[in-house]
Amino acid sequence: MKVEKDFLAGDARQIIRAYEAGSIRVNENLITRSCVITPSAVDSGWRPERFEDLRPEDFTPLVEDRPEVILLGTGGETRIPPQEILAAVLGQGVGLEFMDTGAACRTFNVLVGEERSVMAALLMID
């Protein structure tokens, strides 16, 4: 799905331009594996490949950056993370919202447009 949002030309922020099964386009870069996106950076080497691979330690470096909220894109459908993951993130005072990856992509762009401190941790849609 192509995501249309008006941002100024020359804007240096990371914006999700499109997503579909197996890929996410951030600005002009095509990402084909799980990734973490902030308004200023993209890490296309996030360890978990599937929802079942998620571990609390996958979130340790994410909460260290102290975002206001982490949007967890759980793939093609919304899934509730295990209690240990919820406790690991929320216990550090960081918000965690979980939703399907498409919804996380759209929500990320809205929050970036509002200049919020947001991080998207995205699993690919199968």
Taken in order of first residue, the domains within the chain and their CATH numbers are 16-123 (3.40.1230.10)
Region for residue 12 given its phi and psi (left: phi exceeds 0; alpha: psi -120 to 50; beta: otherwise): alpha
Residue 55 reports pLDDT greater than 90: yes
pTM of the model: 0.91
Q: Are 19 and 125 in contact (CB under 8 A)?
A: yes
List, in order, residues 6 or more apart from 123 with CB less than 8 Å away.
34, 48, 49, 50, 51, 73, 74, 75, 101
The predicted structure's pLDDT at residue 9? 47
Q: Work out the average pLDDT over 84-95.
A: 97
Q: Work out the average pLDDT over 3-32.
A: 83
**Could you tell me the two tokens for 39?**
């308004």
